[in-house]
Structure 1
Amino acid sequence: MTTETTSTGRVQEVVLAQPRGFCAGVDRAIEIVERAITRFGAPIYVRHEIVHNTYVVNDLKAKGAIFIEDLADVPPGATLIFSAHGVSQAVRREAAARGFEVFDATCPLVTKVHVEVAKLRREGYDFIMIGHKGHPEVEGTMGQLDGGIHLVEDVEDVAKVVVPDESRLAVVTQTTLSVDDAAEILAAVKRRFPQVREPKQQDICYATQNRQDAVKVLSAEVDIVIVVGSPTSSNSNRLRELAERLGTPGFMIDSAAELRAEWFEGRPRVGLTAGASAPELLVDQVIARLRELGALAVRKMPGVEEHIEFPLPKGLGDKSMAEAAAQRQN
């Protein structure tokens, strides 16, 4: 970095994290809403934001989606979609009792956690869940059971857990946590409860892991990290926090309009990533704004190429998820 560059405060280079942006679960959830609108006509009701991204939610509203929290706000005979974060058994029962046509957009990796919880409960297990209180995914997972599941948000919470039988205790994790934070809390759980049963595969999803791994590499190469993501997005927040933890200033933005020129004073190398619910369109708009601020070069880091796709629910068409995702990005 030259003295002249530092004094001008101009952006010189943008380095793109790989991977970034939409994951397979988000692609699937958005496609479910769009297909339902096309097939059944507007309005289509969605319980909770389908994914935690302002642009995506507003785009789907414009197409005919109505987002609600209380099923009492859905008229009889309507089509209802559960968000990618999953719902409790109580919500499922209420939706069935009200007679809605339901399509489930719960991410299959969240569903995997729900299935594991139900299976082990039948075997007499209680649970510790590592996650953030109030997050819809946590509420959905904890709502798979009527009690017997203990939420821990940090290491200190582990000491407060009391279970009837330590030999019948399992641990599950919110899928969008910081990998490092979750590992620290899990280590505390294992120290306190040495017999605790862990999942066969970690619950933190591949996309969360990959995007965090990319930020670890990115942070070492740049002067500042910009994360495209909405404030409600857990995985996006974790990316910004990770950059900060690694000593690189990090800012999270919902759109290019939120960029501030002063952030780049003396920081000519800008790292750019996006949470798993943020579309590439927003990344492109941020790059355009960074070019206005002086960026002359944009390069993509090498990284994991993701090719995972999840099938749509029955009744929503035959087009592959890959084709649908390509159409949305264009």
Structure 2
Amino acid sequence: MPTAAVQNILLAEPRGFCAGVDRAIEIVEKALTKFGAPIYVRHEIVHNTYVVDDLKAKGAIFIEELDDVPPGATLVFSAHGVSRAVQQEAERRGFQIFDATCPLVTKVHVEVAKLAKEGYEFIMIGHKGHPEVEGTMGQLDGGIHLVEEVEDVARVSPRQTERLAVVTQTTLSVDDAAHIAQAIKARFPMVREPKHQDICYATQNRQDAVKLMSSQVDIVIVVGSPTSSNSNRLAEVARKLGTPGYMVDRAEDLQPHWFEGCSRVGLTAGASAPEILVRQVVERIKALGAVSVQTMPGQPETVKFPLPKGLRLDLDDEAAAPVARS
């Protein structure tokens, strides 16, 4: 690598795995341990190449169509959630199903189902084609209008406006979603907004960390796969604040010319990117001359989501085991 001016690396905090991603990966690993390979997973369990390849090596088979799952197989739904039609079809086929949908996405699904029974239509802020958006919109047979940008709000044509509610993809840019929500409120003053915003705590925390970090560094590197919505948003946040932001799937993706004239490098990772990739990127940047690595203070995260009943191995085993007495 050519010589660069890099001296310091500043690690964002928090970064990397969130509770929903931890839970989803653990569900696949526990299913493999309990039932043996292969375990079928509909869609990538999380949007990270390293994680998916690692689980493939352990015996997970990733599919998009239920036709690719043999009868009697064990099937895991990805962290992004699935439509009601996919869930019903999987149940009809008799698969052993474990749902790894992030509980914060499930919360949105529950809210949609509840309000739909009360006669509500919905405006969903999200990215067309993203599996989470497809899963949420697929909770109903219609009545959810997708908007991706402020300009889309003017084109929404609900059947009525008295019962209209907003829901949001959980991995969006907090600021972009807020701007779109303002436009929706301006056009539909009676719209019902979520009691608590749908964008998840981890997405919020990682974006906030990048905002704090951006003014302290010359460049921001985000570890994350191209398909990861929340990782893409982190790079966008840096760029909107005037700091060059680049996303890499692995350390080998780093380009030396990005660092020319940069003495301080900010480094973070999307919610689906494992810490091992961050460490590899650190070593790669050290080869450019960085001599110190600091971690910035950040919001502690203590959230942990429980596993589905059939996969709580330790609890199940403890409950079944006789109590030892001295």
Aligned amino acid, residue 268 of structure 2: T
Aligned to 1:79, which of 74, 78, 81? 74
Q: Secondary structure of the equivalent of 2:311?
A: coil
What's the counterpart of residue 268 of structure 2? 273
Whether 1:88 aligns to 2:83 is yes
Which deviates more from structure 2 when the two are superposed, residues 161-170 or residues 67-76? 161-170
Q: Secondary structure of the equivalent of 2:54?
A: helix
What's the counterpart of residue 3 of structure 1? none
Whether 1:237 aligns to 2:229 is no
What's the counterpart of residue 94 of structure 2? 99
Separation of aligned partners in 2, 1:159 and 1:281: 45
What's the counterpart of residue 323 of structure 1? none
Separation of aligned partners in 2, 1:118 and 1:36: 29
Q: How does 1:165-314 map to 2 (within 5 A)?
A: 165-314=160-309
Distance 1:117 1:11, change over 3 A: same
Separation of aligned partners in 2, 1:248 and 1:10: 17
- Segments of structure 1 that go 5 or more residues without pairing to the other structure are 1-6, 321-330
Aligned amino acid, residue 268 of structure 1: S
Separation of aligned partners in 2, 1:319 and 1:305: 27
Partners of 1:208 and 1:235 within 8 A in 2:
yes
What's the counterpart of residue 9 of structure 1? 4
- The structural deviation recorded for 1:8 is 5.5
What's the counterpart of residue 129 of structure 1? 124
- The structural deviation recorded for 1:260 is 1.3
Distance 1:239 1:319, change over 3 A: farther
Separation of aligned partners in 2, 1:41 and 1:89: 28
- The structural deviation recorded for 1:164 is 1.8
Aligned amino acid, residue 165 of structure 2: A
Q: Secondary structure of the equivalent of 2:155?
A: coil
Superposed CA offset, 1:280-308 (max 9, x none):
00000011111111110000001111010
Superposed CA offset, 1:241-263 (max 9, x none):
11000000011000001111111
Aligned amino acid, residue 251 of structure 1: Y
Superposed CA offset, 1:69-99 (max 9, x none):
0000000000000000000000001101110
Q: Secondary structure of the equivalent of 1:190?
A: helix
Separation of aligned partners in 2, 1:196 and 1:178: 21
Corresponding residue pairs, total: 314
Superposed CA offset, 1:37-80 (max 9, x none):
00000000000000000000000000000000000000000000
Deviating beyond 3 angstroms after TM superposition, the runs of 4 or more aligned structure 1 residues are none
Partners of 2:15 and 2:206 within 8 A in 1:
yes
What's the counterpart of residue 158 of structure 1? 153
TM-score (norm 1): 0.94
Partners of 2:3 and 2:288 within 8 A in 1:
no
Partners of 2:20 and 2:305 within 8 A in 1:
yes
Q: Secondary structure of the equivalent of 2:233?
A: helix
Separation of aligned partners in 2, 1:14 and 1:286: 10
Q: Secondary structure of the equivalent of 2:309?
A: coil
Separation of aligned partners in 2, 1:220 and 1:213: 12
- The structural deviation recorded for 1:9 is 2.3
- The structural deviation recorded for 1:168 is 0.5
Separation of aligned partners in 1, 2:144 and 2:24: 27
Q: Secondary structure of the equivalent of 1:184?
A: helix
What's the counterpart of residue 18 of structure 1? 13
Aligned amino acid, residue 61 of structure 2: I
Partners of 1:8 and 1:266 within 8 A in 2:
no
Partners of 2:4 and 2:288 within 8 A in 1:
no
Sequence identity, in percent? Answer: 75
Aligned amino acid, residue 22 of structure 2: D
Partners of 2:39 and 2:60 within 8 A in 1:
yes
Q: Secondary structure of the equivalent of 1:159?
A: helix
Q: Secondary structure of the equivalent of 2:171?
A: coil
Partners of 2:4 and 2:289 within 8 A in 1:
no
Considering only aligned residues, what root-mean-square deviation do their CA atoms show, in Å?
1.1
Partners of 1:215 and 1:243 within 8 A in 2:
yes
Q: Secondary structure of the equivalent of 1:102?
A: strand
Partners of 1:84 and 1:105 within 8 A in 2:
yes
Separation of aligned partners in 1, 2:20 and 2:185: 30
What's the counterpart of residue 324 of structure 1? none
